[in-house]
Structure 1
Amino acid sequence: MDVVTSHVVGPKMDVVTVPPPTPTKSSRHHHRSSISTTTYSPHNPKLKLPLFHTHPLISSKSLQTISPQTTTDSSKSIKRILKKKKIESSTLDILSLMEALYNPIPIDIYTSLVKECTDSGDPHTAIHLHHHIITNIGIKPPLSLINRILIMLVSCGLLENARHVFDLMSVRDFHTWATLFVAYDDNADYAEVARVFVSMVQDLGMQDSEIPVWMWGCLLKACTFSENFHLGMQAHGWLLKLGACGDAVLSSSLISFYGKFKCLEDANAVFNGASRLNMLTWSAKIVGECKENQFSEALSGFKEMGRQGATKESFAISSVLKACGKMLNRKQCGEQVHADAIKLGMVSDNYVKCSLIAMYGRSGLVRDAEKVFEMEENERNVCCWNAMVMGYMHNGMHIEALRFLYQMKEAGMQPQENLFNEVRIACGSVEY
């Protein structure tokens, strides 16, 4: 209650209103402690939100001269601060400044702070800001702000927190579902990607034509890695109805999907029905044929790929080299692919280099494998070292393999455990 005093001056009475009392030390202490002890997430069990921060923008001297302003004026001033490029004020500093003004923080300021935190990717600040919003906003946040909070949490690597917010939402739109869908895809949780997709279609009642192409591609990738054949077949049926199977990205995804389940006839049908063939579709076809030991078909496809002018990427070259290493005329075809890799400048690629070493080792051309291995010393990885050891072992050069293992350990590389066992047995010693 405000304290009011009055005195009479002539016939008029002047009323002098004393400003509201400054919060006492004890009340401030209570407010601070109530925030600092709040536990929000298992990732950060001891979150503390200090009321004031040491920052050039907010000094104790400046706070003493600040008088309460209207919410509109405060919003404008904070927006000006956020737009200044030369002054880098953190999200927590902004919150502290607004608290010091004893004014409610409007939603548009929260929106700006959420965007700033999303760009920074700081999980600590994201948790503090989210907690501040749900405890101080005073009204139910609009769906647009909640969607932004979801994006912020996902961008800061807080997928569990984002899922918790998602599960508590009573209303969701496409942007809500898409954020969660992409988050699980980025985290390679493909089984959850498939579940989110199905739930989204059911919840929103979406038609096939309303689902963007990129989402179909992610779904097919999820079905491939999670081995969800039934849903992948349904997705193919939906795409056939839409007439979208001719899309190069979707065609390559379908070819990879059928290749995963060893359905090469279906994969070839998709490939032949594609309106445009590019690097993705050709690579998907070649990889599927290599997995099914159809090495001649894979090599023929690789040559045809070049004749049609499609760009050859490292994964396709690596797959064909593995096929060449298992063919009867592996030396001749392997050297041809090696020549292509040199022309395309892909010999230094780790996948290609490792496949070249393995191919020459299987072909009995150990010296050629050594030349590839020694090309770029700084670019060697553990796969290249292991491939070289296996090349020695394949050609009965057990002493060289043993010596190479020592060199490998000296270089800080960890050989495969089965290589240790093979070399021990080959060298007639159980100890190494």
Structure 2
Amino acid sequence: MTILTLQSSYTPSPIPVLKHANFDRIPSWVSLKSSTSSVKIEHKQGQVENLHLVSLSKHGKLNEAFEFFQEMDKAGVSISPYSYQCLFEACRESRSLSHGRLLHHRMRTAFENPSVLLQNCVLQMYCGCGSLEDADKLFDEMPELNTVSRVTMISAYAEQGLLEKAVGLFSGMLESGDSPTSSVYTTLLKSLVNPSALDIGRQVHGHVIRAGLCSNPSIEAGILNMYVKCGWLVGAKLVFDQMAVKKSVAWTGLMIGYTQAGRSRDALKLFADFVSEGGNWDNFVFSVVLKSCASLEEINLGKQIHACVAKLGLESEVSVGTPLVDFYIKCSSFESACRAFEKICEPNDVTWSAIISGYCQMSQFEEAIKTFKSLRSKNAAVLNSFTYTSIFQACSVLADCNIGGQVHADAIKRSLIGSQYGESALITMYSKCGCLDDAHEVFESMDNPDIVAWTAFISGHAYYGNASEALKLFEKMVSCGMKPNSVTFIAVLTACSHAGLVAQGKDYLDTMLRKYNVAPTIDHYDCMIDIYSRAGLLDEALKFMKNMPFEPDSMSWKCFLSGCWTHKNLELGEIAGEELRQLDPEDTAGYVLPFNLYTRAGKWEEAAEMMKLMNKRMLKKELSCSWIREKGRIHRFIVGDKHHPQTQEIYEKLKEFDDFMEGDVFQCSMTERREQLLDHSERLAIAFGLISVNGNARAPIKVFKNLRACPDCHEFAKHVSLVTGHEIVIRDSRRFHHFKEGKCSCNDYW
């Protein structure tokens, strides 16, 4: 280290005023190590050294400052109270608790009775470093307390959620005769953030009134926000109405309260008043009002707000552009969302998350994944936990466990798995990809699974066809003290439906309200109709529909119609089809299923009439699509597909099963119909799977389909599993089917 020698001829200059000092001019290499020609420095000559110590502290050079501090100590140069103050501030800003404790110990030896100002600096340092234990101890030891001391501790308690201690300290101030300043009130009001604190908030409000501080703008805003956070909007509105001057923060604060309480109409009315009174619009106002428009799907009003944003030239601002994107997405206007997105100069993580969520909402799942991959390679900083949750959902729909697993690993690496919805989305993704072991691993890794996670795991087993395991999980969940919700019972009833557990399903429906305090909705009754219909109890299903406390909706008749098709009941199927077409004329099931029933019964004129009705209403049956993953690539097939590079091999493989098409197991009177069945997408996918495994009988063939598997193809898969010895897994739009040795895991309940 370079040595600075102080000669005896040195005459100290007056200390410059610190606030005007240029600390950069004093080099950081200054040392107090003296040479043999040096003279002993007198304490009053330590002004330059203290000035340099302050400089290092204020420039955040904490390690250098402490090194110089120790040199001063060794040289016998006293450290001024102001130097200590600056050092404590530097420790607080860098959250260096170890340095702060060391400095506090040194201060105790240097000053027998430190001033309350210096003690407060130590107190603020401990609070800033998050050591409330040290702060508590010091606070109790301080012989003299002032308002700064108490405000510091009240703020620290409030920030840590220790409301009882914060309020206790506030009460102590009042009992000691101290008059709390406005900062004490604002600090305490900020800590009152939930309904349980409302009574305390009212008492604090009362003290504010008695202290004559109601006209203080910051306290007024604090009281209003406190009432909003505590859920007492009546009180918030009273405070708002009594304000002499209503600033934008007050307007937006109350609007937020209305929006969070689901009173978006009131929020928009308040916004209209804000505009009529000539309020100053800012970015936050736009954000709040657009959220209200989104919740009500008020597309026209939202567009007017957008026009104001454009007029003010704020479209490129991320704080305004992001709420615009979110608004259009929630109003299902994705093209407008994309245009708003393109206007934003620097989209942040929330913006990108919103646009990826929009892709998923519009069923553009592959585009969502493509956007995610691009972001990950170019600007990973804008990824957040919500983005990963959306991608998990996209992989779930696409049944792409390969990409889903990679994204899961990446989310773990970045610590971006949402603790609530992210983990539940992972469970759903693995379940729908047929990877229940991975879903189980995610579930078991959760410290305290919430109802969303439990429901996702129960749904996974129900979807997989493991009804007994799903119901065991439900009972285990209840025994753990977790209260089921409406969605949980949908999963439970679905499990019963897929296993033909009619009596158990009815028992769960009947005990929902009585035992679990969950009121059944039409969705739960539709599940029960599905249970009866799948089991072939069509008369019981019809009777149940007539007696249930809800009018049957389109889904009620759709479930019943599906049962009529499965169990070949044309008479009841005609009734169900007519009811479904009246309630939802756009649903193709109301035409396709009756058409299938008529053709099976040989009623060609009636079948043709169904097709005429569909054509008249310009309806088209959703195209059947099946896909299979092989060596990291996805191979897709549609009905009659002949575009695959291995088309010839695929059809030759299917011809090997001609005996099944002609045999007793599969009854079909029409040659043309048999040829059509040969072209079904799931059969093409199965044939490709058989070619790809190259005789490896241990490798299961996994096929995914966007629609429900047809009964004929279901029988075909059973036959193929018996003849070839291969296990075949088909995931259709309703559930998983495991075909092994000529049997299906669904036991024909599907």
TM-score interval for Structure 1 and Structure 2 normalised by the shorter chain: 0.7 to 0.9
Among 248, 256, 260, the residue aligned to 2:217 = 248
Summarize the Cα distance change of 1:348–1:211 in structure 2 as closer, same or farther, 3 Å threshold: farther
**Partner residue, 1:116:** 86
Among 360, 365, 373, the residue aligned to 1:398 = 365
Matched to 1:169, the amino acid is M
**Partner residue, 1:372:** 340
> Which structure would you say has the larger Rg?
2
Summarize the Cα distance change of 1:147–1:261 in structure 2 as closer, same or farther, 3 Å threshold: closer
**Partner residue, 2:168:** 198
Deviation digits for residues 128-178 of structure 1 (CA, Å, limit 9, x no counterpart): 3222122344x3434343223323445666655434322333442322212
Q: Secondary structure at the match of 1:60?
A: coil
More displaced stretch, 172-181 vs 83-92: 83-92
Q: Shift of the alpha carbon at 1:317? A: 1.6
More displaced stretch, 84-93 vs 386-395: 84-93
Unaligned runs of 5+ residues in structure 2 are 1-27, 57-63, 404-750
**Partner residue, 1:25:** none
**Partner residue, 1:387:** 354
Question: Using the alignment, how far apart are the partners of 1:400 and 1:235 within structure 2?
Answer: 53
Aligned residues of 2:317 and 2:344 also touching (Cα < 8 A): no
Aligned residues of 2:325 and 2:355 also touching (Cα < 8 A): yes
1:420 and 2:387 aligned = no
Summarize the Cα distance change of 1:157–1:81 in structure 2 as closer, same or farther, 3 Å threshold: farther
Among 143, 148, 155, the residue aligned to 2:121 = 148
Among 26, 31, 34, the residue aligned to 1:57 = 31
Matched to 1:97, the amino acid is M
Aligned residues of 1:264 and 1:289 also touching (Cα < 8 A): yes
Query: TM-score by structure 2 length?
Result: 0.44
**Higher RCO, Cα 8 Å, sep 6+:** 1
Among 93, 96, 105, the residue aligned to 1:131 = 105
**Partner residue, 2:306:** 338
More displaced stretch, 266-275 vs 338-347: 338-347
Matched to 1:67, the amino acid is K
Matched to 1:172, the amino acid is L
Summarize the Cα distance change of 1:217–1:68 in structure 2 as closer, same or farther, 3 Å threshold: closer
Summarize the Cα distance change of 1:182–1:86 in structure 2 as closer, same or farther, 3 Å threshold: closer
Question: Using the alignment, how far apart are the partners of 2:177 and 2:278 within structure 1?
Answer: 37
Question: Using the alignment, how far apart are the partners of 2:335 and 2:32 within structure 1?
Answer: 69
**Partner residue, 2:149:** 176
1:232 and 2:176 aligned = no
Summarize the Cα distance change of 1:248–1:415 in structure 2 as closer, same or farther, 3 Å threshold: same
Question: Using the alignment, how far apart are the partners of 2:50 and 2:234 within structure 1?
Answer: 58
Question: Using the alignment, how far apart are the partners of 2:211 and 2:278 within structure 1?
Answer: 29
Q: Secondary structure at the match of 2:332?
A: coil
Summarize the Cα distance change of 1:180–1:349 in structure 2 as closer, same or farther, 3 Å threshold: farther
Aligned residues of 1:220 and 1:253 also touching (Cα < 8 A): yes
Summarize the Cα distance change of 1:151–1:357 in structure 2 as closer, same or farther, 3 Å threshold: same
Question: Using the alignment, how far apart are the partners of 2:135 and 2:230 within structure 1?
Answer: 33
Summarize the Cα distance change of 1:155–1:267 in structure 2 as closer, same or farther, 3 Å threshold: closer
Summarize the Cα distance change of 1:303–1:194 in structure 2 as closer, same or farther, 3 Å threshold: farther
Among 76, 80, 93, the residue aligned to 2:68 = 93
Q: Shift of the alpha carbon at 1:80? A: 4.2
Question: Using the alignment, how far apart are the partners of 2:290 and 2:55 within structure 1?
Answer: 55
Residue identity (%): 21
Question: Using the alignment, how far apart are the partners of 2:54 and 2:152 within structure 1?
Answer: 32
**Partner residue, 2:39:** 66
Query: TM-score by structure 1 length?
Result: 0.72
Question: Using the alignment, how far apart are the partners of 1:291 and 1:202 within structure 2?
Answer: 35
Aligned residues of 1:256 and 1:267 also touching (Cα < 8 A): yes
Deviation digits for residues 374-410 of structure 1 (CA, Å, limit 9, x no counterpart): 2345x22221122112222333333433433333433
1:361 and 2:329 aligned = yes
Aligned residues of 1:118 and 1:155 also touching (Cα < 8 A): no
Unaligned runs of 5+ residues in structure 1 are 1-53
Aligned residues of 1:259 and 1:288 also touching (Cα < 8 A): yes
RMSD: 3.2
Deviation digits for residues 351-390 of structure 1 (CA, Å, limit 9, x no counterpart): 432221111112232122112222345x222211221122
Matched to 1:371, the amino acid is R
Q: Shift of the alpha carbon at 1:250? A: 2.5
Aligned residues of 1:341 and 1:347 also touching (Cα < 8 A): yes
Matched to 2:260, the amino acid is K
Aligned residues of 1:255 and 1:271 also touching (Cα < 8 A): yes
Deviation digits for residues 266-303 of structure 1 (CA, Å, limit 9, x no counterpart): 22111111121111110111101111222222122223
Aligned residues of 1:314 and 1:352 also touching (Cα < 8 A): yes
Question: Using the alignment, how far apart are the partners of 1:114 and 1:354 within structure 2?
Answer: 46
Aligned residues of 1:356 and 1:369 also touching (Cα < 8 A): yes
Summarize the Cα distance change of 1:167–1:353 in structure 2 as closer, same or farther, 3 Å threshold: farther
Aligned residues of 1:409 and 1:415 also touching (Cα < 8 A): no
**Partner residue, 1:263:** 232
Question: Using the alignment, how far apart are the partners of 1:248 and 1:167 within structure 2?
Answer: 33
Aligned residues of 1:115 and 1:152 also touching (Cα < 8 A): no
Matched to 1:307, the amino acid is S
Among 316, 326, 330, the residue aligned to 2:285 = 316
Question: Using the alignment, how far apart are the partners of 1:258 and 1:203 within structure 2?
Answer: 23
Q: Secondary structure at the match of 2:192?
A: helix
Question: Using the alignment, how far apart are the partners of 2:198 and 2:34 within structure 1?
Answer: 64
